[in-house]
Structure 1
Amino acid sequence: MVDYYDGTIEENHREAIERATTDRSFGNWIDGESVAASTDETFETTDPAVTIPITAVPRSGPADVDRAVAAARDAMDGEWGETTAAERSRLLREWVDRLRDHVDELALLESLDVGKPLAHAKGEIEKALEFVEYYASVGRGQEGVQVPVSNDSHVYTRREPYGVVGAIVPWNFPLVLASWKLGPALAAGNAVVLKPAEDSPLTATRVAQLSAGILPDGVLNVVHGYGEEAGAPLAGHEGVDKLSFTGEDVTGEEVMRTAADAITPVTLELGGKSPFLVFPDADLETAVETVAGGIFYNTGQSCDAPSRVLVHEDVHDEFVDRFVEAAESHVIGDPLAEETTMGPLTSRAQYEKVTGYVDAGIDEGATLVSGGDRPGGDLADGWYVEPTVFDGVDNDMQVAREEIFGPVETINTFGTYEEAIEIANDTPYGLAAGIATETTDLAHRAAADLEAGSVWVNTYGSTVTGGPFGGYKRSGIGRECGKDALEYYTRTKTVNLELDEPSL
């Protein structure tokens, strides 16, 4: 990481914004060129560390979505629709190679836009490129099957792209979550219309610009705008053949309803309220480090964050003491500073939501044992919240049941295995879960009994290429990150060919 900032936090960020945006425009990217919204309206994206504007992006509407979908359809009807899996793999790898030359630029945009520590942003950019590269490889391995029927019939299946994919991504991990959709969708042969979140639109724009001259025009399109003005028209567009959405569960409901009008298939990766079970034989040092890393990374703005810790009564007190120490060791500060481990929340709305939950936890009778305040001094203008820890939490409290999406950990206690599993599963969500134990039998049994799409044992949140990721219950439909994701961007065609007796 290059350290070229030595002024106040505001001076640092104004310099960084100038560096990131000079000679750069962030318009919609449609049919291989940067364009304004049809209304010529824009809105500003804001640096949450200092609450000053970064740049303006188009405020798009239905007409802009129409234009992007039409461009994607033309690409499918043209050059892109004729490409082979091998050709697509080569083009995606060429694109990744170009993006790797711009990692520092992309990391700075991501850090400014979201409030991530710069080192974290760089790691996430590199992870996003790994996902695209992964799908460039596994996309070549897609195969149909031959179905044994009779000597008179040859029956086989083909995997074919849907056509135009609409992808809507949230603001917390802008490029990583976009890569989870772009990688398999493009490798499978689809064209994409991507709608990034209005709070973090910059890296999506830049990676699309950097596809110019590699991906054919219209294959990757980016349309900016607010959810109700651009996202909803994309979700309900009759020209979209497949829809993939990541975001909160309530919005996911609306996406499903909207897509249902055109009977558009959907993949949904939604929210979570993920438990982490600390059994009495756990290595507490590792457990504390694992949970703290999971809940405070990205300022708690992670759908799979382990936001409910269930601790066995025999080790509860020691765990709480150690965890509070770990929480208070986080360095809250300027995301551009190398020593910072936790930046601000991404927006004023998220700040108000998180602090509202802190107040609710206190009102409900949970014990606030650490944090909960807004730092002062140089950080007073940003959307910062201290790492916050509640003990004595009952599972029917609001802070234990609703997704806070901030650096707020809740701790409650269990006495038996059965009680731990019952509390862990007593949630409308089922995205992820964690287990801390040194007993193999216990780890496997708990992993089977937990109602979650991902379960980590003595670690947490290490989403990897090739490992399917997705939720149970209100946490979503479908899987991302693994080879299986290709199936969600293709449809199966069965071909039945009757064979006559050969005659010579």
Structure 2
Amino acid sequence: MPEQLTVYNPATGEAIESIPQQTAEDVEKAIERSHKAFQSWSKTSAGERASLLKKWYELIVENKEELAELITKENGKPYEEAVGEVLYGAGYIEWFAEEAKRIYGRTVPAPTTGKRIVVTRQAVGPVAAITPWNFPNAMITRKAAPALAAGCTFIIKPAEDTPLSAYALARLAFEAGIPEDVLQVVIGDGAEIGNVFTSSPKIRKITFTGSTPVGKILMKNSADTVKHMSMELGGHAPLIVDEDADLDLAVAQTMASKFRNAGQTCVCANRLIVHESVKDEFAKKLSEEAAKLKVGNGLEKGVNVGPVINKKGFDKIVGQINDAVEKGAKVLTGGTYDQNDEKGCYFVTPTVLSNVDTSMNIMHEETFGPVAPIVTFSDIDEAIKLANDTPFGLAAYFFTENYRRGIYISEQLEYGIIGWNDGGPSAVQAPFGGMKESGIGREGGTEGIEPYLETKYMSIGL
């Protein structure tokens, strides 16, 4: 009997379902099936792959309510947010169904009249994906869609907190006609499965969304087989509010960025860097809006903020709040929490902190929780320096009505994703990814399919 993994609802502690875990040997067999399936899947026409992806997209949209309810049960995010995730994730499948038909080659002028040079693109090979719990649907589709569109086969190792969404997506893919060996899901110990992926010469690419330390381990362990790598790693997003900002807009967009999914997103604002002349007004408005948010079970109507995913995440959030308060920060709203270790349920009220400075851990570590620390600045270069003072470079935000100032700020920020007067810049049409230690490669947009393709050229003698 294989070992079972029980999935729990983080809002209630209720056991949702128990599923069998795979051993290292099971994963190796899955890789072998993926390798064999690649021989035929990579030879299918772009039109055929596009048609199957479109059917998958349509089935996801048809079943969005059931998929969203499953996300809320295993992840905890409010149901309406979960519906948004399903549709956002499905958008990647629709987008890359079209990109499958745009994998173009080209001819190149040869150095002599007696030759012709032809450049073609082909699928990189079997791909292994390791995806996180905070977007258990969209982080899979954002990777699987371009891989399948390119002609790669795909194995998903979802987070142990949220594997059920992966199985649900796979079932709909099979219903759409995608072969079962082309898209597989494996569940089990992350380190063990990661080692199997990185050591296998038949896995030609690894795509990972998660922490920077784990990403570095995967990169090191993949060196012996020189795999292709796509990494979307940690962030510590700054949000700058300049003195001429539209404060109502800035507050509304900060709310959307900071408290979505209880602050458990890689791109949510982690540090609010506010001009000293507007700090009091901004802090007051933000605190008033944060205090209106209802915390609870995401399946209940009116709930805006769900639970923290687990005790490890909860302890980090509470530790950062306590550290900041001990060092002089002031709690403007929130700062309270509900901890039930017996059930494994953890809630943190949306929190706004003022009087924050760089001595506090929250200014250096990604929070992954509903806490908004406010630090002030007087000169824009001071704000930019503070924003860039991190090894991470995933997302950054700023608010100003001055276009000259805005262009200057955007060009100085060392981040792959920039939101100017926009707290939600993610879109299927745009390339998503970070600079510095926040990752390698891009997902989404026309760039999103590139990491799944090899370039080959042929020189023909006439």
Q: Could you say which residue in structure 1 is the equivalent of 2:88?
A: 127
What displacement does 1:457 show?
Answer: 0.9
Contact persistence 2:253–2:424 (CA under 8 A): no
Q: Could you say which residue in structure 1 is the equivalent of 2:56?
A: 95
1:175 and 2:137 equivalent? yes
Q: Could you say which residue in structure 2 is the equivalent of 1:344?
A: 307
Rounded to whole Å, the distance in 2 between the matches of 1:105 and 1:456 is 32
1:484 and 2:447 equivalent? yes
1:421 and 2:384 equivalent? yes
SS at match of 1:479: coil
Letter in 1 for 2:156: L
Letter in 2 for 1:159: R
Rounded to whole Å, the distance in 1 between the matches of 2:320 and 2:183 is 39
Letter in 1 for 2:394: L
Letter in 1 for 2:120: R
Letter in 1 for 2:255: A
Letter in 2 for 1:55: E
Once the two structures are superposed, what CA deviation does each residue of 1:101-143 show, in whole Å capped at 9, x if it has no partner?
Answer: 2111111110100001111101110111111110001121110
Q: Could you say which residue in structure 2 is the equivalent of 1:3?
A: none
Q: 1:376 to 1:403 in 2, by over 3 A?
A: closer
Rounded to whole Å, the distance in 1 between the matches of 2:331 and 2:226 is 47
Q: Could you say which residue in structure 2 is the equivalent of 1:204?
A: 166
Rounded to whole Å, the distance in 1 between the matches of 2:212 and 2:358 is 20
Q: Could you say which residue in structure 2 is the equivalent of 1:398?
A: 361
SS at match of 2:353: strand
Once the two structures are superposed, what CA deviation does each residue of 1:166-187 show, in whole Å capped at 9, x if it has no partner?
Answer: 0110000011111110111000
Rounded to whole Å, the distance in 2 between the matches of 1:179 and 1:240 is 19
Identify which of 112, 118, 123 aligns with 1:161: 123
SS at match of 1:210: helix
Letter in 2 for 1:92: L
SS at match of 2:345: coil
Q: Unpaired segments of 5 or more residues in structure 2?
A: none
Q: Could you say which residue in structure 2 is the equivalent of 1:68?
A: 30
Contact persistence 1:273–1:308 (CA under 8 A): yes
Q: Could you say which residue in structure 2 is the equivalent of 1:194?
A: 156
What displacement does 1:376 show?
Answer: 8.3
Rounded to whole Å, the distance in 2 between the matches of 1:384 and 1:117 is 13
Q: Could you say which residue in structure 2 is the equivalent of 1:11?
A: none
Q: 1:86 to 1:454 in 2, by over 3 A?
A: same
Rounded to whole Å, the distance in 2 between the matches of 1:239 and 1:364 is 52
Identify which of 464, 468, 472 aligns with 2:427: 464
Rounded to whole Å, the distance in 2 between the matches of 1:178 and 1:164 is 15
Rounded to whole Å, the distance in 2 between the matches of 1:376 and 1:168 is 29
Rounded to whole Å, the distance in 1 between the matches of 2:3 and 2:107 is 53
Rounded to whole Å, the distance in 2 between the matches of 1:193 and 1:400 is 37
What displacement does 1:469 show?
Answer: 0.8
SS at match of 1:174: coil
Letter in 2 for 1:62: A
Q: Could you say which residue in structure 2 is the equivalent of 1:25?
A: none
Q: Could you say which residue in structure 1 is the equivalent of 2:109?
A: 148
Contact persistence 2:352–2:372 (CA under 8 A): yes
1:184 and 2:124 equivalent? no
Letter in 1 for 2:162: S
Counterpart mapping for 1:304-453 below 5 A: 304-375=267-338, 382-453=345-416
Identify which of 250, 253, 257 aligns with 1:290: 253
Counterpart mapping for 1:269-280 below 5 A: 269-280=232-243
Contact persistence 1:75–1:217 (CA under 8 A): no
Rounded to whole Å, the distance in 1 between the matches of 2:165 and 2:210 is 18
Rounded to whole Å, the distance in 1 between the matches of 2:165 and 2:339 is 30
Q: Could you say which residue in structure 1 is the equivalent of 2:67?
A: 106
TM normalised by structure 2 equals: 0.96
Q: Could you say which residue in structure 2 is the equivalent of 1:31?
A: none
Letter in 1 for 2:69: L
Contact persistence 1:281–1:439 (CA under 8 A): yes
1:303 and 2:244 equivalent? no
Letter in 2 for 1:116: K
Once the two structures are superposed, what CA deviation does each residue of 1:388-435 show, in whole Å capped at 9, x if it has no partner?
Answer: 122122234211011111111111011011111111111111001111
What displacement does 1:284 show?
Answer: 0.5
SS at match of 2:349: coil
SS at match of 2:173: coil
1:243 and 2:206 equivalent? yes
What displacement does 1:337 show?
Answer: 1.6
Q: 1:153 to 1:364 in 2, by over 3 A?
A: farther
How well do the aligned residues superpose, as a CA RMSD in angstroms? Answer: 1.6
Rounded to whole Å, the distance in 1 between the matches of 2:344 and 2:152 is 43
Identify which of 65, 76, 94 aligns with 1:115: 76
Contact persistence 2:147–2:153 (CA under 8 A): yes
- Alignment length (residue pairs): 459
Counterpart mapping for 1:28-107 below 5 A: 40-78=2-40, 80-107=41-68
Letter in 1 for 2:439: G
Letter in 2 for 1:328: A
Rounded to whole Å, the distance in 1 between the matches of 2:344 and 2:170 is 32
Once the two structures are superposed, what CA deviation does each residue of 1:17-45 show, in whole Å capped at 9, x if it has no partner?
Answer: xxxxxxxxxxxxxxxxxxxxxx6111111
Once the two structures are superposed, what CA deviation does each residue of 1:474-495 show, in whole Å capped at 9, x if it has no partner?
Answer: 1011111111111100110011
Once the two structures are superposed, what CA deviation does each residue of 1:141-199 show, in whole Å capped at 9, x if it has no partner?
Answer: 11012111232211121111011000110000011111110111000000001000001
Q: Could you say which residue in structure 2 is the equivalent of 1:16?
A: none
Once the two structures are superposed, what CA deviation does each residue of 1:264-310 show, in whole Å capped at 9, x if it has no partner?
Answer: 11110001100111001101011011112111110000001111110
Q: Which runs of 4+ in 1 moved over 4 A?
A: none
Rounded to whole Å, the distance in 2 between the matches of 1:485 and 1:98 is 23
Contact persistence 1:371–1:387 (CA under 8 A): yes
Letter in 2 for 1:108: E
SS at match of 1:212: helix
1:496 and 2:456 equivalent? no
Once the two structures are superposed, what CA deviation does each residue of 1:84-110 show, in whole Å capped at 9, x if it has no partner?
Answer: 111100111112122222111111110
Once the two structures are superposed, what CA deviation does each residue of 1:354-379 show, in whole Å capped at 9, x if it has no partner?
Answer: 212222222333222221211489xx
Contact persistence 1:197–1:226 (CA under 8 A): no
Once the two structures are superposed, what CA deviation does each residue of 1:440-467 show, in whole Å capped at 9, x if it has no partner?
Answer: 1111111111000011111112311120
Rounded to whole Å, the distance in 2 between the matches of 1:232 and 1:339 is 43
Does 453-462 or 232-241 show the bigger shift? 232-241
SS at match of 1:332: coil
Rounded to whole Å, the distance in 2 between the matches of 1:59 and 1:362 is 42
